[in-house]
Amino acid sequence: MFIVIAYDIPNDKRRTKVMKLLEGYGEHVQESVFECNLEAGTYRQLTQRLHKVLKLTEDNVCFYHLCQADVNRIEHVGVGREVQLIKNFKIL
């Protein structure tokens, strides 16, 4: 599944932990935005690990799940890059 993850975390230390965690799952494409191409099990693992780092009363993380048709319509203006999908992409 292709997921765009955006986060707003006011605490510098937690924000850095979240960024480093997400670097292991996807590509850092904007200041607080990652693009991730994940299998269902890997997504569950990521969300479990995030819950251990986040302070749910202060932090905000959004997961935007894109279907294949949406991924095909992604446009970049400027120095954007092509989106690389994992083989056998499945819509869940």
Range of the domain at 48: 2-72
For the cut 70, the answer to whether the pLDDT of residue 26 exceeds it is: yes
Distance CA 41, CA 57 (A): 26
18 domain-assigned: yes
Confidence of residue 78 (pLDDT cuts 50, 70, 90): confident
**Number of domains present in the structure of the chain:** 1
The secondary structure of 5-24 as a DSSP string is EEEE-S-HHHHHHHHHHHHT
65 domain-assigned: yes
90 domain-assigned: no
81 domain-assigned: no
Residues 6+ apart with CB under 8 A from 29: 35, 80, 81
88 domain-assigned: no
Per-residue pLDDT of 10-21, as tens digits, reads 999 999 999 999
- Helix/strand number for the chain, H first, E second: 3, 4
86 domain-assigned: no
Has this prediction a pTM greater than 0.85?
A: no
Question: What CATH number does the domain containing 28 carry?
Answer: 3.30.70.240
